Amino acid sequence: MFRALGNPVRVEILHWLRDPERHFGMYPPTADRTQVGVCATHIQAKSGLAQSTTSANLTMLERAGLLTATRIGKFIHYRRNEERIAAFVEALGREL
């Protein structure tokens, strides 16, 4: 998880996904943002990064357990894994 959080772009993506309506409201939803998540295409557009770079960042966050991914048709939607994030913060607080 520390490696995933070591990149400011990935931290920013997590921040955006904390309130998806606020940060992605300008894009037409392809699914319910709070239940399913935000389309990777919208995350890429907001970040201004290449598709491959955005995909690598999202994959890193997913592998770390910080995001969950759901495929709907040809689109992958990402949302925060709040339980995993809370457990990480709690463990960090105990150890430090």
For residue range 31-64, what is the model confidence (pLDDT) as tens digits? 999 899 999 999 999 999 999 999 999 999 999 9
Percentage of the chain modeled with pLDDT above 70: 100
- Considering the segment(s) 2-95 as one domain, its CATH architecture is Orthogonal Bundle (1.10)
| Boundaries of every domain in the chain | 2-95
Which pTM does this prediction carry?
Answer: 0.92
CB neighbour list of residue 27: distance below 8 Å, 6 or more residues apart: 39, 42, 45, 46
- For residue 60, the 8-state DSSP code is H
What single-letter amino acid sits at 42? H
- Per-residue model confidence (pLDDT) at position 96: 83
The angle formed by the CA atoms of residues 40, 8 and 51, to the nearest 5 degrees, is 30
What single-letter amino acid sits at 28? P
- For residue 70, the 8-state DSSP code is E
